Amino acid sequence: MKAPPRPKPPPRRRRPSPVSSPRGDSHGPSRSPEEQSLSPTPSAPRDEPRDPTSARVMRVVAGTYHVETGGGELLQCSLRGRVKQKFEQLVSVGDFVRVERLDDGSCRIGELLPRDSALSRHGVARRREQVIVANVDQVAAVVSVDEPAPDYAMVDRLMALAELNELEGLIVLNKTDLSSGGAKEEDPPLLPPAFAPYLAAGYDVLTTSATRHIGLEALRATLLDRTTVFSGPSGVGKSSLLNALMPGLELRVGEVGARKGRGRHTTVAAALYPFPGGGYVADTPGLQYLALWEVDVEALSGAFPEFHELALACRFANCRHRTEPGCRVLAAVEDGRVDRRRHQSYLALVSEAEEGR
């Protein structure tokens, strides 16, 4: 007997992009006691702040926080005394903050406003959360046709990270000029078959060439009025794409190493840039690994959209789609409806989550 149709999972929530002025309202999760402790406290009269202003952190350089106010003014701020000693790691690129201007003309951050979202991973030492960029709407996983070859496992992790944080996921296949026969604007390059599973899962896959300006208009339309993080391995052309999209930005770009076929780091820290016409884009350092932060094992199945309908029909409600009898996801892997490599990426994330990594 055929089972009755099951309801589809609710659509992913789309977050409005704060392109005009930062928010200091109740949006996002409630603040923890640590974050609440960033609020200003009374000080001597000569140090009383004047013109408190909400702003967004655009980049952090040598302990100086470069922020943009709601009016478009760029300021360089320090962290307020005790904030710098105890909570410096809480303030990240993309965060909304409250800044204080002092009588001596200096500027300091006195409060961290609630976050809507954060693109995070385990730090290198795996002891703490490393926020790559905060308050984002969309994650663009950038890979290249070649030099370096596509890292599909990294794409899977970035898309899973987007799903777990209720962000939109987008895949950008760059360097299409390196594909066989080259590519012309009037003859868009064909998408390699290995990317078909992402289309089937509902992700947009855009083909681009920063050097030949192929596919830039479609990419520009996708970025408009959103806060988008460009992420992926070194050498795939993230900075080159941003330079092509925003003339005058002049981000450093590097060549791929001949010996290992890997890109060299040219972006050393995340930075947020206003996007022409509305929105923001964040350029991030090339990732060599991406270990997800505090992942709920039970939620991982939902991070792979092609599993949704199948998982509802599994024999066991807590099925993890590994070896369980009656698993519809495994059956779909065997008959080709679910990509085997995508399923292997899922299993790797499950193992890491169970190990508490």
| Residue 12 in tokens | 């992913």
> Quick count: other Cβ atoms within 10 Å of Cβ 283?
24
Q: What is the pLDDT of residue 103?
A: 87
- Torsions phi, psi for 4 (to 5 deg): -65, 150
Nearest-CA neighbor of 131 among 235, 284, 18, 303?
284
pLDDT tens digits in sequence order for the chain, 357 residues long: 233 332 344 344 333 333 333 333 333 334 343 333 333 333 333 344 444 579 999 998 888 999 999 888 899 998 876 656 555 557 899 999 989 888 888 899 988 888 888 887 655 445 566 788 899 999 999 999 988 889 999 999 999 989 988 899 999 999 988 875 444 555 566 788 999 999 999 999 999 999 899 999 999 999 999 999 998 888 898 888 999 999 888 776 655 444 444 444 455 578 999 999 999 999 887 655 556 666 788 889 999 999 999 999 999 999 999 999 999 999 999 999 999 999 999 999 998 888 865
213-254 confidence digits (pLDDT tens) = 999 999 999 999 999 999 888 889 888 899 999 988 877 665
Run of H or E including 343: helix 340-354
Task: Give the model's pLDDT for residue 357.
Answer: 52
What is the distance between the alpha carbons of residues 173 and 205, in angstroms, rounded to a whole number? 7
Burial label for 306, CB within 10 Å (0-12, 13-18, 19+), is: buried
Give the Cα separation of 196 and 178 in Å (integer).
20
Backbone angles phi, psi at 217, to 5 degrees: -65, -40
The predicted pLDDT at position 26 comes to: 34
> Which pLDDT belongs to residue 31?
39
**Do residues 238 and 251 touch, judged by C-beta distance below 8 A?**
no
Tokens at 351, concatenated: 């193992």
Which are the contacts of 5, defined by CB distance < 8 A and separation ≥ 6?
none
Taken in order of first residue, the domains within the chain and their CATH numbers are 46-112 (2.40.50.140), 118-283 (3.40.50.300), 297-354 (1.10.40.50)
The set of residues, in sequence order, having a beta carbon less than 8 Å from that of 1 and lying 6+ positions away, is none
Contact 307, 315 (CB under 8 A): no
- pLDDT at res. 173: 95
Task: Tell me the whole-structure pTM to 2 decimals.
Answer: 0.76
Kindly give the interhelix angle for 152-164 and 340-354, rounded to the nearest 10 degrees.
60
Q: What is the pLDDT of residues 272-281, one digit of tens each?
A: 999 999 999 9
The structure tokens listed for 38 are 């960033």
